[in-house]
Structure 1
Amino acid sequence: MGLFADTTPLRTPDFRRLWFAGVVTTVGANLTIFAVPVQLYALTQNSAYVGLSGIFALVPLVVFGLLGGAWADAMDRRLLLIIASCGLAVASVLLWLQAALELNNVWVVLCLLSVQQAFFAINQPTRSAAIPRMLPSDQLPAANSLNITVMQLGAIVGPLMAGVMLHWVDLSTLYLIDAITCVVPIWATFRLSPIPPANGGTGGSGWGLAAVLEGFRYLAGNNVVLMSFVVDLIAMILGMPRALFPQMAHESFGGPIEGGTAMALLSAAIALGAVAGGVFSGWLPRIRRQGLAVVVAIVVWGVAMIGFGVACGFAGGTAGTLLWIAVAFLAIGGAADMVSSVFRNTILQQAASDEVRGRLQGVFTVVVAGGPRLADATHGAAAAVVGTTVAATGGGVLVVVGVLLAVAVVPAFVRYRVAGDDKV
C-alpha cells in the first residue's frame, strides 16, 4: 500500500552492499560509543574526562569532515571509502588492544577516539556523495530513509546489547566486536564499482583549504542548499533537549540520580521514533515539495519538544502516565527529525553539483554532528538559569519561531521541489 519503507534502492548491487554493511557496522560502532565513556569514567571517576571526550570527538569531525568532503570531490570515492574503512578498522583494533592490555591510560583512549572519529568524518561525506552516483534521483529519498533507519536502529540496539553483555564480558570485548564488524564495510567497498571524480577531477581547487573554501563559496550562492543547513541548526541547537534528560528523569519522574528506567526511556525515545518513521516511510518518495516537507517536519519537531517540556513540568516527581506522554512526544519528534533529515540530505544530493557534492556532504556531517553538541551546551546553561521545563519548552517555541522566520527571509526554500517537477 506504499506505507512501509520503499526498498527499491536495494535492487542496485552497490547500494545494497553499502547498506547491508551499515546494518552490521552501525551496531558495532555503537558498542564503542557506549564503551568509551564507560571506560573513561572507570579510569578517572571524574565526569569531566567523559565530557572531554566530546571535544576529542568533535574537533576531528569538523576538520576531517570538511577535508574529507574535499578529497571525495578530488579522487575516486570508492578508493577513499576503502581507505576510510581500513582506518576505522585499525582504530577499533587499537582501542581493543589498549583495553585488553590494560594500559589504563585515559589519554590513549581519548587520542584513539580522535583517530576513529577522523576516519568516520572522512567516510560519511564520501559515502553520502557516492550514493547519487549509484541510484537514480527519484530513489534518493527512499535510500536516505533506509540509511537513517539503520543508523537509528543501531543507536538503540548497540547500547542495549552493550549493557547486557557487560554482565558477562569486559569492555575489551565490546571493542573487539566493533573491530570484527569493520571487516564487512571493507569487503563491501572493495566490491563497489569505481566512482571517479566528475569531469576527471579537473577545475577544482585541490585537496586542502582552498577546496574547502570553494565549497563554502558554492554553498553561499545556493540559497536552497544553504537553508537546508540553517533550518537544521535551528532545530538542533534550539530544540534538542538530551542534555536535560538526566535531571528530568530524576526531578520530574523520580528516577535515581544514577539513571534508571525513566532515563533509559527518555534516552531511547527519539531514536525509537526515528526508526518507526523509517519503517513507515513508503510515502516519502511521493513528496515533490521537499523544502516545504522539511519546514513542516521541523515545526512538528518544535511542537513535540514543547509537549515534552510541558509533560515533564506537570509530572510532579513521579513516574506514571506523564512519563509515557513525555516519551511519546520525544518519539514524535524523532519521527519528524527523520523526515527532515531524509529530505535535507536528498535536497543536498539533488540540488548540488557533483563536483562539490563531497564538500557539501562534509559540511552536512559537521552540522549534524555539531548541532546536538551545541544544543547540549545551550540547554544545560539555560536549565541552570530557568529550569529544565522552561528550557525544553522554550527551546521548542524558539524552533517554531526560528524556522518560520528563516523561511520568510528565504521563501525559495519552501517553494523548492524535485528537479524537473513543474506540478503545483
Structure 2
Amino acid sequence: MSERRGHLIDVRPLTQSPAFARLWLGTLLGGLGGQLTITAVMLHMFALTGSTFAVSMIAFAGLVPMIVAGLYGGMLADHFDRRAVALTAAVIGWSATVALAVLAWTGLVNEWWLYALSILSSAATTVASATKMAMTPTLVGKDLIAPAAALQGITGGIMVMAGPALGGILVAAFDYPLTYTIDVILTLSLFLGLATLPKLPPEGQTEQPGLRSILDGFGFLKTAPNIRMQFLLDIIAMTFGQPIALFPALGVVLLGGGEVTSGILMASIAVGVFVSSLFSGRVVTVRRQGLGIARAIQAFGLATGLFGLVLMGAAFGWSGHATEAHPDIPMIVLACIALALTGATDNVSSIFRQTMLQAAVPDAVRGRLQGIFMVVVAGGPRIGALVTGVLSGIALWVPPLAGGIAIIVIVAVILRFATRFRAYDALEPQP
C-alpha cells in the first residue's frame, strides 16, 4: 500500500499509467455526454407525454436489462479481451445516441423510441463500466488501485454535478437534436481511450461464456465472505438512505423553490462526492478497509438522519413556512450540507469497496464479480426508492430520519459479528 500522507488526491495512476489516463479522460468526457442525454431524454419524455409517471418508467423499464447486462457483460469480460468487450459495448451505446439524434433531427422521435434507445444505451453502459472496472488493476497495478478508485470518484462527481445542469441549459437554449448530437461527439473521446489500450485478456484459466460461467461467478461469491459483506452493507445503505425520490416534493411542499431547489439538492450530493475524492490522499492509505466501509456507511447513515432532522425542522416551521415562490433558504442550505455529507461518506465507502473488490478477487473471475457489483449498485437505489415512497406517506421527513437511524444500528449489529470483515487488511487482501 502507498505510504503517501498528503490530503490531496493521489494522481499517480494518471502520471504512471498513460493508458489509464487516456481511459479516465475518455470516461469523464463520455460520461458527461451521457448525463446530457439522460437529462434530455427525461425532459423529452415529459414534453411528449406530460406524464411524470412516463418519465419515471424510463429507469424502471431499464432495470431488468441492466441486471442482465451486468451479469452477462461480466461473464464476457472474464473470457474475451476486455478491451474488445468494453469497446464493443461503447459502440452499441454510442449507436443508440446517434439514433436518438437522427430521430430528433428528423422529427420522428416518440416515447417508444425514447424507451427502447434508453434501455439499449443503459445496458451497453453497464457492460462497458463493469469491464473497465475489471481492467483497472492491470492498468495501474495493485498498489494504485485505491488512488484509481478515488480518481473515478472525481469523474462521477463532475458528471453528476455538471451533466444534468448542462443538459437542461442545452435543451432550453438549443432544443433536443443538438443536445443529443453533443453527446455523440463527446463519446468519441471514450473510443479514443479504449482503442489505444493494449489487449487485456483475463489472467488465468477462462471459461466458455454461458449460464454455467455466470453461476460459477455466484459460486465464487459463496467462498468470498468479505465481498459478500460489502455487498450486503451497500444494499443496507441504499435501502434505508435513498431520499432522492423526495426531492421533487420537497421543492414544492416543504422547502419551497420548486424545481430549482430539487436540482440544487441533487447537485449537493455530487459536490460531496467530488470534494471527498479531491481530498482522498489519506483515505487511500487505510489498510483496515472492511472496518473503513462499515464506518463510512454509518457516517452516511448519520448524514442521512441529519437531512431528516432538517426536513422535520422545515415541516414544523423552525425558520418559517416556505412556499414554492418563497423558499426557506436557511433550511435549504442545511439540507444541502447534510446531502453533501451523504455524498462524501458514500464515496469514501465506494473507494474502499472498489479497492477491496479489485485487489482481493482473482483476475479470472473479477469481471463476473464486477457484474454482480453493478447489479447491487443498480438494484439497491430502486429498492430504496420504494421504501422512501412508502414511508413518505407518514411525513416527508420520516424516510431519511428513520432510515439514517436504521443504517447506524443495523451496521453496528452486523459488524459486531463480522470479525473477519473487521480484520480485513489491504496488505493481505482476502475475498
Q: Look up the match of 2:224.
A: 222
Structure 2 counterparts to residues 24-173 of structure 1, below 5 A:
24-173=29-178
Q: Give the 3-state SS of the residue equivalent to 1:195 in structure 2.
A: coil
Aligned residue among 386, 400, 410 for 2:418: 410
- TM-fit CA distance, 1:421: 8.2
Preserved contact between residue 240 and residue 399 of structure 2 (Cα < 8 Å) = no
- TM-fit CA distance, 1:146: 0.4
**Aligned AA for 1:243?**
A
Q: Look up the match of 2:325.
A: none
Q: Look up the match of 2:255.
A: 253
Preserved contact between residue 242 and residue 267 of structure 1 (Cα < 8 Å) = yes
Alpha-carbon separation, structure 1, partners of 2:28 and 2:365: 28
Alpha-carbon separation, structure 2, partners of 1:421 and 1:189: 29
Q: Look up the match of 2:234.
A: 232
- Whether 1:5 and 2:9 are equivalent positions in the alignment is yes
**Aligned AA for 1:336?**
T
Q: Deviations over 1:58-92 (max 9, x none)?
A: 12210010000000001110111111121121111
Alpha-carbon separation, structure 1, partners of 2:40 and 2:429: 47
Q: Look up the match of 1:324.
A: 333
Alpha-carbon separation, structure 1, partners of 2:204 and 2:285: 32
Preserved contact between residue 130 and residue 367 of structure 2 (Cα < 8 Å) = yes
Alpha-carbon separation, structure 2, partners of 1:63 and 1:405: 33
**Aligned AA for 1:189?**
L
Q: Look up the match of 1:280.
A: 279
- TM-fit CA distance, 1:168: 2.1
Alpha-carbon separation, structure 2, partners of 1:401 and 1:212: 34
Preserved contact between residue 101 and residue 181 of structure 2 (Cα < 8 Å) = yes
**Aligned AA for 1:2?**
G
- TM-fit CA distance, 1:165: 2.0
| Structure 2 unaligned regions, length at least 5 | 323-327
Q: Look up the match of 1:242.
A: 244
Q: Deviations over 1:295-339 (max 9, x none)?
A: 111011000011000011112233132221111011011100000
Q: Look up the match of 2:395.
A: 387
**Aligned AA for 2:7?**
L
* Distance change in 2, residues 1:198/1:421 (3 Å): closer
Alpha-carbon separation, structure 1, partners of 2:304 and 2:346: 11
Preserved contact between residue 96 and residue 175 of structure 1 (Cα < 8 Å) = yes
- TM-fit CA distance, 1:14: 1.2
**Aligned AA for 2:176?**
L
Alpha-carbon separation, structure 2, partners of 1:199 and 1:421: 18
Q: State the 4+ residue runs in structure 1 displaced beyond 3 angstroms.
A: 419-422
Alpha-carbon separation, structure 1, partners of 2:220 and 2:416: 22
Preserved contact between residue 93 and residue 176 of structure 1 (Cα < 8 Å) = yes
Alpha-carbon separation, structure 1, partners of 2:103 and 2:416: 53
**Aligned AA for 1:241?**
P
Preserved contact between residue 56 and residue 111 of structure 1 (Cα < 8 Å) = no
**Aligned AA for 1:283?**
R
- Whether 1:360 and 2:369 are equivalent positions in the alignment is yes
Q: Give the 3-state SS of the residue equivalent to 1:2 in structure 2.
A: coil
Alpha-carbon separation, structure 1, partners of 2:56 and 2:369: 29
- Whether 1:335 and 2:339 are equivalent positions in the alignment is no
Q: Give the 3-state SS of the residue equivalent to 1:5 in structure 2.
A: coil
Alpha-carbon separation, structure 2, partners of 1:420 and 1:401: 29
- Whether 1:310 and 2:319 are equivalent positions in the alignment is no
Preserved contact between residue 94 and residue 184 of structure 2 (Cα < 8 Å) = yes
Alpha-carbon separation, structure 2, partners of 1:128 and 1:86: 18
Alpha-carbon separation, structure 2, partners of 1:199 and 1:279: 35
RMSD: 1.5
- TM-fit CA distance, 1:199: 2.2
- TM-fit CA distance, 1:212: 1.0
- TM-fit CA distance, 1:200: 5.2
Preserved contact between residue 25 and residue 184 of structure 1 (Cα < 8 Å) = yes
* TM-score, scaled to structure 1: 0.95
Preserved contact between residue 273 and residue 334 of structure 1 (Cα < 8 Å) = yes
Alpha-carbon separation, structure 2, partners of 1:104 and 1:77: 34
Structure 2 counterparts to residues 144-223 of structure 1, below 5 A:
144-199=149-204, 201=206, 204=207, 206-223=208-225
Preserved contact between residue 204 and residue 363 of structure 2 (Cα < 8 Å) = no
| Structure 1 unaligned regions, length at least 5 | none
* Distance change in 2, residues 1:421/1:104 (3 Å): closer
**Aligned AA for 1:218?**
F
- Whether 1:401 and 2:409 are equivalent positions in the alignment is yes
